[in-house]
Each structure stands twice: as C-alpha cells, then as structure tokens.
Structure 1
Amino acid sequence: MAPKENRDPVDRMVDAYESMLERVDEMLEAAEKTTLPVLKKSLDTAREKAVELDELAREEAEKIAGCLERDMKDAAHFLSETGEDFRNWFRFDMQLIEGRMMEMFAKVADRTKLELDRFAEQAKEASRYHTGEITGPGTLVCTQCGKELHFHKAGHIPPCPKCHATEYRRQED
C-alpha cells in the first residue's frame, strides 16, 4: 500500500470504508450480544484503529465511521420494513458485488437488525446521502431529478451527473 500522503484522498477514503467494515464485522462476530451499544463500540474501535494505523486523520475517520453507521442502519431498516432478502437492498445483480464484502455487510446488517428496528423511523429520515460522502454498494437516486447512480463497491458520491444536485436517497421499490 502506498504511503498515506502519496495516495488519492478518495481512494484512501474508499479503502478505509472497506477496512472499517471488515473490522466491525470481525468484532461483532466475536461479541456475544448483538446490541446497539456493541455496534457503537465496534464502530468506535474500528475508527480508532484507522487513526492509530495512520490510515486516516481523526476527522476523516469520524466521517467514514458516520457513513458506515448510516449504511448499516439503512440496510437494517430495509430488512425490518420489507422483510425482503438482503440482496434486494443492493438493487442489482449480486455477481457484480465482491463476495467477501457482501458477506461482511450482510452479517453486520443482520446482527444489528433487531436492535435497530426501534430506530427505523429515525434512520429513514436520516438516510440522506450527500456529494462528498462515501457509500457502500447499491443504487442512489438524486432527490432533484431522479438520476440513478449505481455503486458496485464502496465509492465516493459525486454531484448528480444530470442536474448537479448533491443529495441522494437509496432506491426503494
């Protein structure tokens, strides 16, 4: 891996998102209780590890942890509201998603689903995605013009290529 200062900042943020997700998955797998406090502690630990390993500055790590928490809450909300299969949350052919990341994300979302059910309404209102943030795989829809952006892996959210707006929502049925 190239030194932190020689890498593209967006690539560093996308890599950090995936690393934090992997760390949270590992910690939750080892945990006996699957409660929101365990999720929060796991996110905090993953964030601190990214800073400790000099992968990200503290402010960057805070931002990525917030994005990761938002995506996990959004996935858990989808599961609790629809009862559908997790793959429908992604809205595109599962073969396009790296198997390892899909497995980690599914495990984290499944573990947090029960506890996050009671936060479902808050999560729905708060699940707005903005230009400059990092998001996990899935389809985002521009809130201004309806243009869809498809993410096959974690990525940086750009301005809408059609109308240049900066706010998106996750595609719903």
Structure 2
Amino acid sequence: MIKIATAECFTHGKIGRELHALAQNYENSFGRDYIENPKQYGDFNYNNLSVTCSLFIPTIEAVVKILNVKNPPKPQKLIKGIKVYDENGDKNVSKIMAKAVKELTNCDIAIGTTAGVGHGGISVITDNYEITTTTNVYANLCENNSEKLFQRSENGIKKTLEIILLLLNNKIKEIEKLENIEVIKRKN
C-alpha cells in the first residue's frame, strides 16, 4: 500500500480528496472531479493507494502548530493569519510543508502547496525524489481577484495530480518534461 498525505493551502485539500476518491474507486459526483481516465498514465493499481490525511493549511500558525515546523520563513505579509510569500518563498515553503507532513505521517508520498504572490509553489516528496514546481497561472492573493485565484488553484490541482499519476506509474522522464519543474533525486 502506498500512503499519501497532503498539506495544502491554495488547493484547499482538493488534491487529497481527489486522490482519496481515486483510491476508493469513486467516480463522477463523489470526488472524481479532475481525474477522468487514470489508466492513461499507466497500469498502476490505484487500489494500492491510501490517503492518510489531507490537511488545509493556509495560516502560518497552522504550519507551526499542526505541521510542527519550528521556524518557518517569515511571510512577506499576513492576511487574517494567512501566509503570503513571493513565488520563491512559496516554492520553499511548499517543500517545507511536504517534508513536515511526510515526517508526521510517515507516508510514502507527501504533497505541499502554498501560493501568495506569483505562480505558487507545489512540492511532492518521496523517499527517492523531491519534485518542485509552480502553476502556470499568476495571481496575487493581496489583490483578492477571485477569478485569477480560482484559476491558479485549479491549475495547481490538475498539475499536482498529473505529477502524482506519472510518479505512481514510474514515469519520471515525463514529469521532467513538464513546464517549470525541478526533480531532484534524493540520496537514501
């Protein structure tokens, strides 16, 4: 069984929910909003997948108290406690969040997402890889442009799910071909 855990901000826990629906073989209105044909990615048996938890972590306080991150980078701004970083900060903090949820849950695949000003940050951490990327949509949380924020969130959900499905099917070379992606092989 491959266990997945998420610590999500701008994707609102939808990545975890979608992966849970896939693992449970749910379809249509009950959770499968983004993955239409998982078999197009390969022959992985999704019954061997389990979502340990899917956390919505928008605030710096939750990063500290829920994820047990001792000294997270200081956000550029706080909006009702919600952390706002620039794009590089988002990429860094998404990795910190993924590593923290991996350590807390001892899962096989950990996902962290956060987005303030820019394209956001998405990280997928396994024992073998650190994958970090951004969405393809620029938005600014401080401007409160709901449509742009929604587009960035949707793009982040879809891109992360694509990375996970490729990863589960051992298609690292295809992941490396995605736009604005960094894949680091971890030393075991």
Q: Shared fold by TM > 0.5?
A: no
Richer in helix (by share): 1
Q: How does the TM-score come out when normalised to structure 2?
A: 0.28
Richer in strand (by share): 2
